[in-house]
Structure 1
Amino acid sequence: MNIENSTILITGASSGIGEATAIAAVEKGARVVLLARREDKLRDLAALLGSNALALPCDVTDAAQIETCIQKALEKFGQIDALVNNAGRGLYSPIENIDIEAYRELLELNTIAPLVMMQAVIPHMRQQGSGAIVNVSSGATFGILPGASAYTSSKTALNTLSDVARVELAEAGIVVSTLYPFVTDTEFYGAVEKGQDAAEAEIKGIGEAAHSPERVAEKILGLIRTGERQDDLVPKEYGGSLDT
């Protein structure tokens, strides 16, 4: 898909990877629809990006809010060519200590919300006869990490949803891809629901190997452009394809 003149809907767009993806997309001539809960940050980003950006405050765990945002996006730009499912959160805890309610909330955001987003845009993409969906997973799913079972299981489920959707939607001209970032220097580690100390220790341990959100954004746009099944920023020593 050509990025220029396309309309790209991005969840979790108020900071980090989502914000960087929006900026990079507009720089390449795209229009962007920005979804996140933090209205002030969304408005600031939309003001920076100008008339090619639409800020829509949205809790992506609320299907009614999603549907309203889809309608507003279509009213503004007339089409949705690509969806970037980026919104997500971490939870770090040993199996025996996982808070069940916190885990349910994690699954709602990391797994179910991306599915609902896909279901919301698929009918419009079918009507167009084309579309691209990029689900942002995690390189943590490449390994077995003690303390990360809640988070990685939510993302592993997303991986399967993404792969099956790719097969099911191919005939409709809709391409579904999965991106596996490595540790990224964003607010993610400061917004972990449980296990804050473990999350902070992880990013400190990685140090200079952590990637910028701009580098991840380029990978996301690359998947929209090429339609490849997946890409990653995971070093080979951790099971990925990246030479360090």
Structure 2
Amino acid sequence: MTDKPKTLFITGASTGIGAETARAAVKAGWNVGLFARSADKLNDLAAEFGDKALALPGDATSLDDQTGALEMLAEKFGGVDAVFANAGMGLSTSGTDEGQPDEWRKMIELNVLGVLWTTKAATPHLKKTGGHLLLTGSAAGRRHIKGSVYGASKWFVHGYGGNLAEEMREWGGRCTVIAPGMVDTPFFDEGKPDKLKPEDIAEAVMYALHANKRANVQEVFVMPTG
């Protein structure tokens, strides 16, 4: 008798790190729930995976959208074993003096509140499976960058991830912060061909997920050599 395939929910799944993590997970035998705002991109990606995937269009800044998506995913595949809170955004203008408050608000809603909503929606499912929560942090969340509001949002992710690891340990769960340096993704307006690729970060996610159950890989830093 073979073990039932595990199921991974990914926010920000339509492109970049999210999409490549979905590919790596399916290759490793996982089912995937693909969550993002772009229904067309999600449907195309889900078609690539066949019956191993479920497209779940929604907005990561909505707790209701994420709660409903996770319920649909659990119903389809019989539970949720891991959740990757990957959705995030940067800013067009850096620094505090030149920064745009409206843009800050949108970023905080996604980079901070969106992570909270993912965690809140996921916790009941992960408690049932003794599951694993992963958060996309950043090298910018571990060093001081002149006036960086984006970096500060990632400092939150790192701090919250560590706190979650302590909380989840009480019921057999695990929490990992995946912290990349610069990655060549649609996050940037111009390509970064000499930097990391989304596949590199997907490999880090799978490394943390596949660690022995007795081990919680709490942070993974992946930095470009170039």
Query: Normalization by structure 1: what TM-score?
Result: 0.85
1:150 maps to 149
Question: Given residue 45 of structure 2, which amino acid in structure 1 is its aligned partner?
Answer: L
Q: CA RMSD in A?
A: 1.7
1:103 maps to 104
1:220 maps to 205
Q: Report if aligned partners of 2:81, 2:126 keep a CA contact under 8 Å in 1.
A: yes
Larger relative contact order (C-alpha < 8 A, sep ≥ 6)? 1
SS of 2:184's equivalent? coil
In 2: Cα distance, 1:119 partner to 1:51 partner? 27
Return the offset for 1:142. Answer: 2.8
Q: Report if aligned partners of 1:4, 1:30 keep a CA contact under 8 Å in 2.
A: no
Superposed CA offset, 1:123-152 (max 9, x none): 122133x100110111122322235x1110
Which aligned segments of 4 or more residues in structure 1 are displaced greater than 3 angstroms?
none
Question: Given residue 43 of structure 2, which amino acid in structure 1 is its aligned partner?
Answer: R
Q: Report if aligned partners of 2:183, 2:197 keep a CA contact under 8 Å in 1.
A: yes
In 1: Cα distance, 2:142 partner to 2:171 partner? 30
Return the offset for 1:105. Answer: 1.2
Considering fraction of residues, name the structure with more helix.
Answer: 1
SS of 1:189's equivalent? coil
Superposed CA offset, 1:3-37 (max 9, x none): 98110000100000000000010001000000000
- Pick from 211, 217, 220: which aligns with 1:231? 220
SS of 1:187's equivalent? coil
Return the offset for 1:118. Answer: 0.8
SS of 2:182's equivalent? coil
Question: Given residue 125 of structure 2, which amino acid in structure 1 is its aligned partner?
Answer: H
Return the offset for 1:233. Answer: 0.9
In 2: Cα distance, 1:22 partner to 1:150 partner? 29
Query: Normalization by structure 2: what TM-score?
Result: 0.92
Question: Given residue 6 of structure 1, which amino acid in structure 2 is its aligned partner?
Answer: K
In 1: Cα distance, 2:74 partner to 2:143 partner? 40
Aligned length: 219
SS of 1:97's equivalent? coil
Question: Given residue 211 of structure 1, which amino acid in structure 2 is its aligned partner?
Answer: L
In 1: Cα distance, 2:125 partner to 2:19 partner? 24
In 2: Cα distance, 1:85 partner to 1:94 partner? 26
